[in-house]
Amino acid sequence: MQHIHATEALTHHDTSRIQTKRNTIGWQHPPQIGVLALIQTSAQQNNSIAENNKQLKSSKYNMLDIILSYKDAFISGVLVTIKLVGIVWSVGILLGFILGVIAAKYSPLLSNIGRGISFVLSGIPVIVFLFWLHYPAQAMLGIVVDPFYTTAIALTAVNVFSVFEIVRSAIINFPKQYTDAAKVCGVKPIIQIIRIEIPIVFRHIIPHLLTAQVVVLHMTLFGSLISVDELFRMAQRVNSQAYKPVEIYSAIGLFFLMLSLPINGIALYLKSKYGRDFSEK
């Protein structure tokens, strides 16, 4: 009997010690306390994020404020875009015009080769052509080219053969009655080219050239996909910090409108004033 009472006393004493230890270090109902704390912390974080988004959306920064705040980034992007399009325009127009004249007047073989290349390029999306030059072509050649120059080469190639086709078609379709009348009147060949052929051809091709250059200007945006720090890529970086896509991309749209609309307007004016069908009525 005494042994039983001793055992019960020991059991009661151990139970009291275990209970006291649990209460001391906080083991009482640990799962419930942990879940509640996690839920409260998550709710506080969600409320904080919602409050930040609310403040961001309600901020009164307009387009001009954002441009001024990140003017260095935008200016850098604009300069890269202007440099890129300057190379593409100058080389493309000059080389395309020379090749077009030679192909139309002196080399049927060059004309056929140029037409074939133009046909192939017209069937390949520019972005695919750009990525092919940036990755597979460089891997096959074992070289690494700066993305800026890769973009310049791709867009210049497209522009060269676009201008080539415009010039070649205009010269080939030049009305023969003008040259025949010049020959009958005894006009020298060099005077005939300078005073008759060149002015008429230029009046015909300039509107088409201007429109093609606007398209090339818009293609410079593809450079951002291979890490060229032109205007669109800089706008993406600014948007990742300011999170103002409406204002930022609207500013980019206005920039291209300010460049494109005057060129398109001049092209339409010249086409309406000087453009005409070469075919006889």
Query: Model confidence over 117-141: pLDDT tens digits?
Result: 999 998 999 999 999 999 999 999 9
pLDDT band at 49 (very low <50, low <70, confident <90, very high): very low
- Residue 31 — pLDDT band, cuts 50, 70, 90? very low
| pLDDT beyond 70 at 10 | no
Q: Is the pLDDT of residue 109 over 60?
A: yes
Q: Regarding predicted confidence, which is higher, 53 or 82?
A: 82
Residue pair 166/148 in contact (Cβ under 8 Å)? The answer is no
22 pLDDT higher than 60: no
pLDDT of residue 47: 54
Residues of the chain with pLDDT > 90, as a percent, come to: 50
Q: What is the mean pLDDT of the chain?
A: 81
Whole-angstrom distance, CA of residue 86 vs CA of residue 254: 20
203-215: per-residue pLDDT in tens?
889 999 999 999 9
What pLDDT, on a 0 to 100 scale, did the predictor assign at position 197?
Answer: 84
pLDDT the model gives residue 45: 45
Mean pLDDT of 254-266: 92
- 121 and 165 in contact (C-beta within 8 Å)? no
List pLDDT tens digits, range 208-251: 999 999 999 999 999 999 989 999 999 999 998 888 888 899 99
Q: With b meaning 16 or more CB within 10 Å and e meaning fewer, what string describes 119-146?
A: eebeeeebeebbbebbeebeeeeeeeee
278: confidence class by pLDDT, cuts 50, 70, 90: low
At 80 the pLDDT is: 95
Tokens of 182: 């010049």
- What local confidence, expressed as pLDDT, does residue 61 receive? 66
Per-residue 3-state assignment (H helix, E strand, C coil) for 97-109:
HHHHHHHHHCCHH
Which pLDDT score is estimated for 200? 86
For residue 202, give the nearest of 118, 271, 262 by alpha carbon.
271
What is the pLDDT, as a whole number, of residue 38? 43
Average pLDDT estimate for 149-163: 96
What the block records as the tokens of 206 is: 């300039």
Q: What is the pLDDT of residue 186?
A: 84
In which band, very low, low, confident or very high, does the pLDDT at 276 lie, cut at 50, 70 and 90? low
